[in-house]
Structure formats: structure tokens, C-alpha cells
Copies of this chain bind each other. A is one copy, B any other.
Amino acid sequence: MIQYDHHLKVYYKDIDQMGIVYYSRYLEYFEEARTELLASIGLDVTSVEKNGIQLPVITSHCDYHRGAELEQNLIIRTIIYELPKAKLRIDYQVFTKENTEQIILTGYTIHAFLNINGRPVRPPANILDKIKKQMNEY
């Protein structure tokens, strides 16, 4: 298991008429958080793409438990439970810094590995190695 906590703050831009974060914004938060998770184990987007690999999202899922509000400090907890076989699944839990017991949202994204021609490929060895190494250390 690899776990990473990404911190961010809710601003006006994120909030809708009901006074809570608009439902699509969490997918942006997910992207920020998984970018930092992957960068933390040496898999920053730019260098992955330089190796001719893209990791497009093929599935996204969110369960909204309660609304996040203006100026709340959120933690986007990002988890890789398993070494990817064909696809990489990343799980997310969102809660406030002040109350880590109260889940705001849970979700996941599933990513394919595509080569430079847009064809699905098996996860490259150097990516697997970095994930495996981190899983052992955790």
C-alpha cells in the first residue's frame, strides 16, 4: 500500500449556490493529489510522458457523503492498494484537517497505460519498480 496526503484549501471558485464544493471539482482535487502521490515516488507526469507513457483516466467514481465548505482545509488522502497488473487503481478519501474522522467523500480512478501510439501496454518495469519499492518501504 502507498498512501499520500495532499493538502488544499477550498476557495470561492469551488463553491456552488448551496454553499458547498461543486461535485466536479473533486476530480480536479483528485488530479492534484495523485500527481503529488506519483511525484513523491519519482513518477512525475513530465518524466513519465517523456518515456512515452500516458496514464489516462478510464474510470472515475465519487461517493459524496457531505459537503466541503468555503475556507475549509481539506486533506485528499490518496492510496494505491495493489501493484497494477494491466491497470492502475488509485483510491481517494477526502476529509478536513480539523476532523479526520468525518469522511466528506470517497472515490477512485482507474488508469490505463498507453504507449506513444495510444495503444494499451503492460505497466513498464521502471514504473512497477518504483511502486513496488515504495510499497515495501511503507
List chain A positions with a Cβ less than 8 A from chain B. 9, 11-13, 15-19, 22-25, 27-28, 31-32, 35, 44-46, 54, 56-64, 67, 70-71
- Which of B13, B32, B67 makes the CB contact (< 8 A) with A31? B13
Query: A63 contacts B58, CB within 8 Å?
Result: yes
Give me 7 other A-B pairs in contact (C-beta within 8 A), A24-B31, A44-B71 excluded: A13-B16, A23-B60, A27-B27, A35-B71, A46-B70, A59-B61, A59-B64
Task: Name the B residues within 8 Å of A11 (CB-CB).
Answer: 28, 31-32, 35
* Contact indicator B71/A45 (Cβ below 8 Å): yes
Which of chain B's residues have a CB closer than 8 A to the CB of A31? Answer: 11-13, 23-24
B70 pairs with A64, CB closer than 8 A: no
- A27 in contact with B28 given A15-B16, A46-B71, A57-B64 (CB within 8 Å): no
User: What's the nearest-Cβ distance from chain B to residue A74, in Å?
Assistant: 14
Per the bound structure, the CA–CA distance linking A112 and B12 in Å amounts to 17
Determine the chain B residues whose CB is within 8 A of the CB of A44 once the complex forms: 71
Residues of B within 8 A of A32 (CB): 9, 11, 13
